[in-house]
Structures are given as C-alpha cells and as structure tokens.
C-alpha cells in the first residue's frame, strides 16, 4: 500500500503558483526525498501532506485518509518536523519531552532520545537558551517520538554540525529499518544519497525528475577522464562527446560501459597507459544543477 498519494496537486498563494500539478506516491516503509531549489514548492507540498494547507486543486491521501479533514485520526500515526521550530521557549529539554510523553498517544523514552540526539547534557536548559542546532535536534526528537508509522521531515538537518547530522541520519535510518515511512526535504544532496530510496527534484512548483537514485543518475551522461600519453595515436570511435584539450581527454557518454571498453581496448592495442583514468556516473549534484540552470534559463 502507498503511505502517501499526491495527484495533480496545485497550491497558490495570491497570484504565486507555489505548487503546480505535482504528483508522487510514497510506498509504505519507503524513504522519499523531495529536493529542489529555494522556493521550488517543497515546504508547501509537505504542508498539504501534513494537512495544514488546503490545496487549490488535486487530491492527497495519507495512510488512506484526507490529511486536512482527518487530521485528528492521522495524528497518532504521523510525526511532523516543520521548517520552523514550534518549541515552547520557557520549557527545558526534559520538560518538553515529558510534556510530549503526556500529550502523545505514542510512548517513548525521553532519556533514550536525549542520549541519541546528544541532548542529555542540556536536559535542564530552556528551549529558548539552546543553540540553533540543539533546538533542531529537540524538534527532531518530537517528530520521531514514539516511532510513528509516517514521519514528515522538512529540512531536518538544517544548521546542524556534521556530527549532529550523522546522529539524525542514524535515527532516520533506524526508523526506516523498522518500517516507518519517511517523507523528507533537504538541501544536502548527500543526505538524500545516504537515506532516500527514491527522490523527486522540484523546480518552480513542478516535479522535474523522480525515481530511484540510480535511475535519476543514469538519466544523465556519465563522464570518462584520462591523461593521454605524448604522441598518442588517433582515438577510437566512441558514442559519447569527446573533449580533447592537449592530452586531457574527457568523454561525456550515455554508454559508459561501451565507451570505456573501446578506450581500454584502444589503449591495450597500442600499449598505452591512461594516467588518472576515471569513469563516473553523474552525481546528484550535477543532475540538480543542470535541472535548475536549464529551467531557469528557459523561464
Ligand atoms: N505564506 C506564503 N505566502 C505567499 N507566498 C508564499 C508563502 N509561502 C511560500 N510562498 C511562496 O511559494 C513558493 C514556494 O515556497 P516553498 O516554501 O513551498 O518552497 P521551498 O521549496 O520549500 O523553498 P525553500 O527551499 O527555500 O524552503 C515560493 O515562491 C514562496 O515565495
């Protein structure tokens, strides 16, 4: 079953079309990352999924329910991390978690969560006195409280140092391993690479590319680079685009295996060494930047 089904979603603020005919599904137990440029419509999409916004058009089902009209019924199954912190400034970390213990129908261990998110030494500090990263970690603790069936995480590691980011990743990996569905946004592409089963890249309100990470990456040309030896003979025929700058060879290709094979056979036949030979798939960052710049240019 799909945990989330979004079809034809459009949302407008005044005359700004923030989300324009967006559709995607997230299977139960899947980690799905929405990526995109600033203002692409990610938070708006999440807020519709969370039931906070009524879309202008389209349908959204979350765990089989309408998140706007059935929010109360969904609450026990869904944890939400908004982009902006919603903590009560006067409450300490420990008080915040024990309040959650009383309010939530899900049970969890404040001590364990504080430990996992490196907040134990800050247990008696008021939320308003925490650092930005500590507040974010406390927000994350509330979102994952009691291992909900579904968590929606908007920029969960924004402003976190690398060690804290690793802790949050470990928490999300652990949730996913026990079957929680995760819908997340992030500006850190390595975060999507580390955690997500599938990604969708949004730009200007639309989903431009979606799929598994390997499908998204293989939709873009791969690259072979090498330094050719002095006086190298004529290059072999390859299907990709060859860029030769002196002895520096770069080939952009949709057929990485075939073109690499052709180059290696050619080098072998002529007894050549290809210094610094490197063959790589496009990175998520390349896909992202290419989409953003192409679409902006076209806009
Ligand atoms: N409350 C609002 N009123 C008017 N316009 C809004 C409002 N919230 C968002 N927008 C506009 O809607 C568009 C999408 O914004 P949204 O916050 O969904 O994007 P985002 O992808 O989450 O961006 P970011 O990565 O910067 O957080 C932007 O053009 C934004 O300026």
ipTM associated with this complex: 0.97
Centre of ligand 1 from the C-alpha of residue 230, in Å = 54
278 lines ligand 1 (CB under 6 A): no
15-45: b (≥16 Cβ within 10 Å) or e: eebbbbebebebeebbbbbbbbbeebbbbbb
Centre of ligand 1 from the C-alpha of residue 12, in Å = 10
**198 strand-pairing partners:** 32, 212
43 lines ligand 1 (CB under 6 A): yes
- At residue 295 the predicted structure's pLDDT band, cuts being 50, 70 and 90, is low
77 lines ligand 1 (CB under 6 A): no
Segment 99-123, tens digit of pLDDT = 999 999 999 999 999 999 999 999 9
Radius of gyration for the alpha carbons in the chain, expressed in angstroms and rounded: 24
Centre of ligand 1 from the C-alpha of residue 202, in Å = 12
Angle of the 93-103 helix axis to the 132-144 helix axis, nearest 10: 20
Query: Where do runs of H (alpha helix) occur along the chain?
Result: 42-49, 71-74, 93-103, 110-116, 132-144, 162-177, 189-195, 213-218, 256-269, 284-298
- Start-to-end C-alpha separation, the chain: 37
Centre of ligand 1 from the C-alpha of residue 44, in Å = 6
Segment 23-43, tens digit of pLDDT = 999 999 999 999 998 999 999
pTM above 0.95, yes or no: no
Mean pLDDT of the chain: 93
Contact 60, 9 (CB under 8 A): yes
């Amino acid at each position: 079953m799909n945990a989330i089904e979004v079809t034809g979603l459009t949302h407008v603020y005044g005359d700004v079309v923030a989300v324009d005919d967006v559709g995607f599904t997230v299977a139960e137990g899947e980690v799905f990352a929405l990526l995109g440029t600033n203002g692409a419509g990610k938070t708006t999409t999440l807020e519709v999924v969370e039931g906070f916004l009524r879309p202008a058009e389209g349908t959204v089902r979350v765990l089989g329910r309408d998140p706007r009209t059935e929010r109360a019924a969904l609450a026990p199954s869904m944890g939400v991390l908004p982009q902006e912190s919603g903590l009560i400034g006067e409450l300490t970390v420990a008080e915040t978690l024990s309040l959650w213990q009383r309010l939530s129908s899900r049970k969890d261990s404040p001590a364990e969560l504080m430990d996992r998110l490196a907040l134990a030494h800050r247990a008696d500090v008021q939320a308003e006195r925490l650092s930005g990263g500590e507040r974010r970690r406390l927000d994350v603790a509330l979102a994952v409280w009691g291992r909900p069936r579904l968590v929606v995480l908007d920029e969960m590691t924004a402003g976190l140092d690398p060690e804290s980011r690793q802790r949050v990743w470990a928490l999300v990996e652990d949730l996913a391993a026990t079957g929680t569905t995760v819908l997340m946004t992030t500006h850190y592409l390595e975060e999507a690479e580390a955690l997500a089963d599938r990604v969708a890249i949004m730009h200007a309100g639309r989903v431009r590319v979606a799929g598994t990470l390997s499908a998204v990456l293989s939709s873009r040309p791969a690259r072979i680079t090498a330094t050719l030896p002095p006086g190298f003979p004529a290059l072999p025929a390859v299907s990709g685009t060859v860029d030769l700058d002196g002895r520096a060879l770069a080939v952009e290709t949709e057929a990485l295996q075939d073109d690499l094979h052709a180059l290696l056979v050619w080098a072998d036949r002529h007894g050549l060494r290809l210094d610094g030979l490197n063959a790589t798939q496009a990175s998520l960052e390349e896909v992202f930047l290419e989409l953003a710049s192409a679409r902006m240019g076209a806009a």
